[in-house]
Amino acid sequence: MSGTGFAYPHLFGSKVPPPAPRWAGHPKYNFIGGHNDPSLVPVEALIEATQTVLRREGQSLALYSLAQGPQGYPPLRQFIADKLKRWRGIDSDADGVLVTSGSGQGIDLVNQMLVEPGDTVILEEFTYGGYLTKLKRIGANIVGAPLDDDGIRIDALETILAGLKKKGTTPKYICTIPTIQNPTGSIMPLARRHQLLAMAKKYGVPIFEDECYADLTWGGMNAPPALYALAPDQVVHIGSFSKTLAPALRLGYALAAPEFLGRMTAIKSATESGTGALEQMVVAEYFSKHFADHVGKLAGQLEEKLDTMIEAVEREFGIAAEPWRPKGGIFLWIKLPEHVDTMKLVQPALKAGIAFNPGPEWACDGADSKSRLRLCLPFRRRKSSAKASRPSPGSALRRPGFRSRAGTSGAPAPARKENAL
Amino acid sequence: MSGTGFAYPHLFGSKVPPPAPRWAGHPKYNFIGGHNDPSLVPVEALIEATQTVLRREGQSLALYSLAQGPQGYPPLRQFIADKLKRWRGIDSDADGVLVTSGSGQGIDLVNQMLVEPGDTVILEEFTYGGYLTKLKRIGANIVGAPLDDDGIRIDALETILAGLKKKGTTPKYICTIPTIQNPTGSIMPLARRHQLLAMAKKYGVPIFEDECYADLTWGGMNAPPALYALAPDQVVHIGSFSKTLAPALRLGYALAAPEFLGRMTAIKSATESGTGALEQMVVAEYFSKHFADHVGKLAGQLEEKLDTMIEAVEREFGIAAEPWRPKGGIFLWIKLPEHVDTMKLVQPALKAGIAFNPGPEWACDGADSKSRLRLCLPFRRRKSSAKASRPSPGSALRRPGFRSRAGTSGAPAPARKENAL
């Protein structure tokens, strides 16, 4: 239809964005987006799972939501409940799980439950850019809570909560990624989790817990229990299969107390006709048998990629780059010297075929993050031929010039300004 | 988590609905929802398609949207363009197609493009209930345009448009289902299509064309060209695979002029991370080879079901029920005598295990439709053992007491009040 115009552009709504640019493919060196490794998609096992599940119950695709209701395919919800019980300490069952079309839909539903224009929410100072764009669209007031190596700083959080209380403001939630924080990759220790829950309870604020990366911790899924496991009446919990299996599948999930989850389900089913059932069926069938094996293998290979990336960052940037070594996940959060503005590097990098997230896209306060950037792990692993001529993975981390965390090496770490309330 | 309450229900947003009721399954006799026939889900062919497409390119599931951009999987868009060219007269290519997560998302995106609170839209007087709930949620002003056997009545439409113009109101769109109207099942003749386009052009109003059922016309896909084929600058076109393949798959599509489609794509990709790729891949692979065969077989069996249903309606209601015999699709729209209020029949029917859509759910003006109801075709076909002892399909239609359309039989048809503007 190229060349045919739309006759009534003056009727477009006032908030309609400009057209999406024509898709030009990813840059050659793409360090954006939670992509997985093409070689780790278990193609034959997915085919086998498809065959098994479709022969058993494929005919039910003829019915909306497989005639199983709006919460999602029951065997997938059962698998989610089982995996969260085994690895995240959560005591739930299939009825306590809502399947969502990616965790993005989970975020939208939580926001629809709680956040109205002008409401205040507390996010981690550095956080997933998607939260920020969604909340800005709603017109929420975003307050960033400072982070350290263990996640949200409780003292700083109390200062924020007390300040808001003085103004008569109850934030609608504290949004946290306690297990493999995005972008820092930290894991909140158990004691801090209890402190966070106590502080949130003291000020009457729910916690919105996102565990999209929790299954990808180095050395096995042995993080402290989810916040939702510790205080299910205070917490709404979401997760995803994008990172553990494949992001082109759109499957996530949410757990919350029944009166919360039931309303989320009502909002979801009022606006769409269910999450794609074939993907739910295939993932339930595959992961019910292969989850631990698959995720263990995947995490090991992601850590190998991370080591390669850290090695390259060290080689190219020397002590100018200060990464927070993540404890899992798919990204590396790097601090460059204070005077560097990573926003100014985006376009020159793109011209060289390199894409990354500049810090301000992943932070509540753009100014505080301007010298930072996020690099997602590359699609592919190091070629084994190249590997032989380079230091073994992990070696870079042991070199004295490379700080795995701010303040933990001997080299002077640039001061980190905290977000002002 | 049953028994655990949410500690902060006072923080819920003001528009949050009550919790979804616990899913209790469909009623035994379910005449609601565009369900398909379980026996017609091509299970083995879908397994074969999955195997073929995943072996060829399953590894790309590791990348968001298969690294193919936000418009959707290119082979699926190519198939959609090809099928619309062959059967609906539309001259497009893969770039002119946006894949959506069901046609429901297509409706949401069109509304986001055009409709803001307080805006006026024109719908067919009897129409898909989903439009109504979505538009009411936005806060739009809905005006119903009267229908006859050939779709929107052009004279009545002009009265509406002239009346609105006098008040200084330009409607944001005229929403029509010209090919297998939902719920009447009519097909708009070619001359009427040209009249509709001319009238809309005269008043400067875009047309929102929904062709979710157009592939399911009795006797082959030989309806007049889509409105979008006739005037692509005036029309936004959506369609679905829910009805032709399986509603548990969430796949639809939209076509519009580039400046419209590009903005729809921008809205879609700002709010989610793509439509599930596995379903796109499998449907593209299967339908690229089997579309005409599958749809031909399906439509034939749907018509057989329709005949069975009409026969039963005639047997049980006699001349009290006046159905509009649809020219395709999956539903039957029935008029009962004026004094019957179908809303009052819903609960007693449910108690007897029977679900149907009362007229007001499927109409712009509740009062005008109170004696009507919509019956979707049942899940399963008549058992062949029963069939032998009953009249052959279609025979009911030839009996004198059964009116296939209002006003076309000898029996006096109840007067149909037109919607007042």
Using CB atoms, which residue from A25, A38, A277 is nearest to B249? A277
* CA-closest candidate to residue A366, choices A114, A35, A136: A136
- Domain interval for residue A150: 55-289
Cα gap B329→A157, rounded to integer Å = 58
**Which chain A residues are Cβ-neighbours of B274 within 8 angstroms?**
248, 250
pLDDT exceeds 60 at position A167: yes
Same-domain status, B77 and B169: yes
- Residue of B26, B63, B175 to mutate, interface with A, max A Cβ within 10 Å: B63
Q: Minimum mean pLDDT among A344-353, B22-31, B90-99, B204-213: which range?
A: B22-31
Q: Name residue, tokens 């369609």.
A: B239
Residue A298 in any domain: the answer is: no
Find, in chain B, the residue whose alpha carbon is nearest to that of A258.
Answer: B2
Instruction: Give the mean pLDDT of A302-318.
Output: 92
Q: A220 falls in which pLDDT band (50, 70, 90)?
A: confident
Asked if B362 and B123 touch (Cβ cutoff 8 Å), the reply is no
pLDDT exceeds 50 at position A391: no
Contact between chains at B51 and A47 (C-beta distance less than 8 A): yes
| Residue B375, CA distances (Å) to A220, A288, B106, B325, B332 in order | 54, 39, 25, 12, 5
pLDDT exceeds 70 at position B420: no
Same-domain status, B374 and B394: yes
Question: Average pLDDT over chain A, rounded to whole?
Answer: 89
Find, in chain B, the residue whose alpha carbon is nearest to that of A201.
Answer: B7
In terms of DSSP H, where are the helices of B277-363?
A: 277-317, 346-351
Q: What is the pLDDT of residue A145?
A: 98
> Of B395 and A284, which is predicted with more confidence?
A284
ipTM of the complex: 0.89
Same-domain status, B394 and B274: no
Contact between chains at A1 and B269 (C-beta distance less than 8 A): no
Contacts of A82 by beta carbon, 8 Å cutoff, 6+ apart = none
* Tokens coding B286: 């299967």
- Residue of B61, B85, B103, B233 to mutate, interface with A, max A Cβ within 10 Å: B61
Contact between chains at B47 and A54 (C-beta distance less than 8 A): yes
pLDDT exceeds 60 at position B155: yes
Q: What is the pLDDT of residue A383?
A: 67
In terms of DSSP bridges, do strands A174-176 and A120-124 run parallel, antiparallel, or are they unpaired?
parallel
pLDDT exceeds 50 at position A395: no
Bridge-partner residues for A30, per DSSP?
A355
pLDDT exceeds 90 at position B367: no
pLDDT exceeds 50 at position A406: no
Find, in chain A, the residue whose alpha carbon is nearest to that of B272.
Answer: A104
**Which CATH number fits the domain that encloses residue A80?**
3.40.640.10
Contact between chains at B23 and A266 (C-beta distance less than 8 A): no
**Which chain B residues are Cβ-neighbours of A262 within 8 angstroms?**
18-20
Q: Is B188 helix (H, G, I), strand (E, B) or coil?
A: coil
pLDDT exceeds 60 at position A129: yes
Same-domain status, B199 and B336: no
Contact between chains at B256 and A6 (C-beta distance less than 8 A): yes
**Which chain B residues are Cβ-neighbours of A64 within 8 angstroms?**
33-35, 242, 247-248
Using CB atoms, which residue from B172, B233, B271 is nearest to A11? B172
pLDDT exceeds 80 at position B322: yes
Using CB atoms, which residue from B38, B47, B59 is nearest to A41? B59
Residue A353 in any domain: the answer is: no
**Which CATH number fits the domain that encloses residue B362?**
3.90.1150.10
Q: What is the pLDDT of residue B391?
A: 39
Bridge-partner residues for A375, per DSSP?
A332
A232 cis-preceded (ω within 30 degrees of 0): no
Cα gap A38→A298, rounded to integer Å = 11
Bridge-partner residues for A210, per DSSP?
A238
What's the one-letter identity of residue A298? L
Same-domain status, B113 and B123: yes
CA distance B264 to chain A (A): 7
* Tokens coding A65: 């939501």
Q: What is the pLDDT of residue A4?
A: 63
**Orientation angle between helical segments A154-166 and A190-202, nearest 10 degrees:** 10
CA distance A355 to chain B (A): 14
Instruction: Give the mean pLDDT of A305-310.
Output: 93
Residue A89 in any domain: the answer is: yes
For residue B281, count CB atoms less than 10 angstroms from its CB and return exposed for 0-12, middle for 13-18, buried for 19 or more.
buried
Q: Which of B289, B308, B342 is the last residue of a domain?
A: B289
Using CB atoms, which residue from A38, A61, A282 is nearest to B59? A38
Same-domain status, B303 and B273: no
Q: What is the pLDDT of residue B421?
A: 33
Q: A170 falls in which pLDDT band (50, 70, 90)?
A: very high
Residue B326 in any domain: the answer is: yes
Q: B414 falls in which pLDDT band (50, 70, 90)?
A: very low
Q: A74 falls in which pLDDT band (50, 70, 90)?
A: very high
Q: A35 falls in which pLDDT band (50, 70, 90)?
A: confident
Residue A16 half-sphere exposure toward CB, CA atoms < 13 A = 23
Same-domain status, B185 and B316: no
Contact between chains at A26 and B67 (C-beta distance less than 8 A): yes
Instruction: Give the mean pLDDT of A71-85.
Output: 97
Q: Is B175 helix (H, G, I), strand (E, B) or coil?
A: strand
**Which chain A residues are Cβ-neighbours of B88 within 8 angstroms?**
none
Asked if A72 and A415 touch (Cβ cutoff 8 Å), the reply is no
Stretch (H or E) spanning B156:
helix B154-166
Residue A177 in any domain: the answer is: yes
Instruction: Give the mean pLDDT of B277-288.
Output: 97
Same-domain status, B350 and B213: no
Residue A238 in any domain: the answer is: yes
Q: What is the pLDDT of residue A397?
A: 36
The three state secondary structure string of chain A is: CCCCCCCCHHHCCCCCCCCCCCCCCCCCEECCCCCCCHHHCCHHHHHHHHHHHHHHHHHHHHCHHHHCCCCCCHHHHHHHHHHHHHHHCCCCCHHHEEEECHHHHHHHHHHHHHCCCCCEEEEECECCHHHHHHHHHHCCEEEEECEECCEECHHHHHHHHHHHHHCCCCCCCEEECCECCCCCCCECCHHHHHHHHHHHHHCCCCEEEECCCCCCECCCCCCCCCHHHHCCCCEEEEEECCCCCCCCCCCEEEECCHHHHHHHHHHHHHHCCCCCHHHHHHHHHHHHHHHHHHHHHHHHHHHHHHHHHHHHHHHHHHHHCEEECCCECCEEEEECCCCCCHHHHHHHHHHCCEECEEHHHHECCCHHHCCEEEEECCCCCCCHHHHHCCCCCCHHHHCCCCCCCCCCCCCCCCCCCCCCC
Q: What is the pLDDT of residue B1?
A: 41
* Angle CA B16–B27–B384, to nearest 5: 145
Using CB atoms, which residue from B114, B269, B277 is nearest to A248? B277
Same-domain status, B219 and B124: yes
- DSSP type of residue B179: B
**Which chain B residues are Cβ-neighbours of A201 within 8 angstroms?**
7
Q: A398 falls in which pLDDT band (50, 70, 90)?
A: very low
Residue A10 in any domain: the answer is: no
Q: Read off φ and ψ for residue B374, nearest 5 degrees.
A: -115, 130
**Orientation angle between helical segments A277-317 and A43-57, nearest 10 degrees:** 160
pLDDT exceeds 80 at position A419: no
* Tokens coding B43: 């299970």
Dihedral-angle region of residue B384 (phi above 0 means left; psi in -120 to 50 means alpha; beta otherwise): alpha
Contact between chains at A17 and B234 (C-beta distance less than 8 A): no
Residue A50 in any domain: the answer is: no
Q: Note the pLDDT tens digit of each residue in B300-309.
A: 999 999 999 9
Same-domain status, B197 and B68: yes
Contact between chains at A6 and B116 (C-beta distance less than 8 A): no
CA distance A90 to chain B (A): 9
- Provide the number of structural domains found in chain A: 1
**Which chain B residues are Cβ-neighbours of A275 within 8 angstroms?**
250, 276
Cα gap B372→B361, rounded to integer Å = 10
Using CB atoms, which residue from A39, A116, A279 is nearest to B14? A116
**Which chain A residues are Cβ-neighbours of B263 within 8 angstroms?**
12, 16-20
Contacts of B211 by beta carbon, 8 Å cutoff, 6+ apart = B88, B177, B178, B179, B226, B237, B238, B239
Q: Is B284 helix (H, G, I), strand (E, B) or coil?
A: helix
**Which chain A residues are Cβ-neighbours of B305 within 8 angstroms?**
none
Laid out side by side, the sheet with A252-255 consists of: A97-100, A252-255, A235-240, A207-210, A174-176, A120-124, A141-145
pLDDT exceeds 70 at position B67: yes
Same-domain status, B202 and B220: yes
Same-domain status, B387 and B322: yes
pLDDT exceeds 90 at position A358: yes
Question: Average pLDDT over chain B, rounded to whole?
Answer: 89
Contact between chains at A36 and B62 (C-beta distance less than 8 A): yes
Q: What is the pLDDT of residue B408?
A: 34
